[in-house]
Structure 1
């Protein structure tokens, strides 16, 4: 805790990494964020983002959805590669787009919220603080997309929180009927890794086999 001018305690600011390929945007956003937030790092590519996030372990990452680079492309690739940190680091997606497919894709990958770049500095600051505190943050319009995609029960289902972003990717493909080999090719991983993820998903969800997994995913509209 630090001291303010009146001698009282000032809360420690939330540590944030800004990931966006436009330097001018990063600079403007950094200047607009409130004093409750401290920008500890920046990145402009997928590779830079993964390195900075793994090294600094910020509380929140402001992540551009359409970041260039990476096999999977964009912010979703960052989320996938940082999946082991999702319990420690929270991701708030930031984009010029409010398209349903963009919103749903990054939420499925592990983001805790989604705001558009038309939001003001105070609005983004508030979103960062709420995400850091464990909330999921969306505008009413964007929240509607999430509810439509996942179903109300799925959004509230604690079981989803047990799965990593990569496990969710594998689960969705297996539930659609992909073979282990097809899943491995789609996600650029080995068949052995797919088998490991499927075993982990079945264990965490307490399901017996991939047929039960398909029914579980269908009930929650996770495709």
Structure 2
């Protein structure tokens, strides 16, 4: 697993003067939805623990620039980003910001996203259903060097490294789909109505319909029932 041996400043290393308050854990928030970044910043600002958001970014290039400029202790990183995805941010900053750790914070809880991101060098992976207090705790633990996962997601990682999930086969299927098509596919396969998908992804119902048609065509499926079965067989739900 790449990135596991990084020399990283945890909370203990960031302590202030003896007997004084610890320095805040410096965090960069990377997500392509402005409203979500604003919400995360608000949650962290309200937390009693010492966490400071020092920058935000919405795509791979701006995220790389922010990480290299700020050298944060932790990056909250969305998996699916314009410009190459979250793993690309990790890859491009491994030598320029070697002391930074990455915590994936994503709407996706699909096995291939979790496994791919951890293999890419992230120290943890939590979903966007996490509470503010839980997120603050996860940031602190990652800063201290722990690996942090939402409970269900830890099983994916264990299964992958035990050989129970054939990641290469899953990746081959999903390579046919764009990042947005993957998001639509997962939500539809879980039983979301088109209007619910549109609301979740901040896109129009018409756009959802277009993506769904493309997904079915690329995967050579004929209905959402077949799509649900296809996703379930690959442990993508």
Shift of 1:9: 2.6
Secondary structure, in 3 states, of the residue corresponding to 1:114? strand
Q: Is the 8 A contact 1:17 1:62 kept in 2?
A: yes
Residue 79 (structure 2) aligned to one of 65, 70, 88: 65
Q: Which has the higher contact order (CA 8 A, sep 6+)?
A: 2
Check conservation: 2:71, 2:97, Cα contact below 8 A: no
Q: 1-side partners of 2:72 and 2:88: how far apart?
A: 18
Alpha-carbon contact 1:60-1:131 (below 8 Å) kept = yes
TM-score (norm 1): 0.62
Question: Alignment length, in residue pairs?
Answer: 146
> What TM-score, normalized to structure 2?
0.58
Q: Which among 17, 30, 40 is matched to residue 29 of structure 1?
A: 40
Conservation of the 8 A alpha-carbon contact between 1:86 and 1:110: no
The C-alpha deviation readout for 1:9-52, integer Å capped at 9, x for no partner, is 32211000000011111111111012410000110110000011
2:103 aligned partner:
92
* Alignment-derived partner of residue 55 in structure 1: 69
- In 2, distance between residues paired with 1:151 and 1:91? 24
Q: Which runs of 5+ in 1 are unaligned?
A: 153-171, 173-223
Contact 1:90 1:112 (8 Å CA) reproduced: yes
Of 102, 108, 118, the match for 1:107? 118
8 Å CA contact 1:95–1:116 kept in 2: the answer is yes
Which structure 2 residue ranges, 5 or more long, are not aligned? 1-14, 169-237
Q: Which of the residues 102, 110, 116 maps onto 2:127? A: 116
Q: Distance in 2 between matches of 1:44 and 1:133?
A: 26
**Post-superposition, which runs of at least 4 consecutive aligned residues in structure 1 deviate over 4 A?**
none
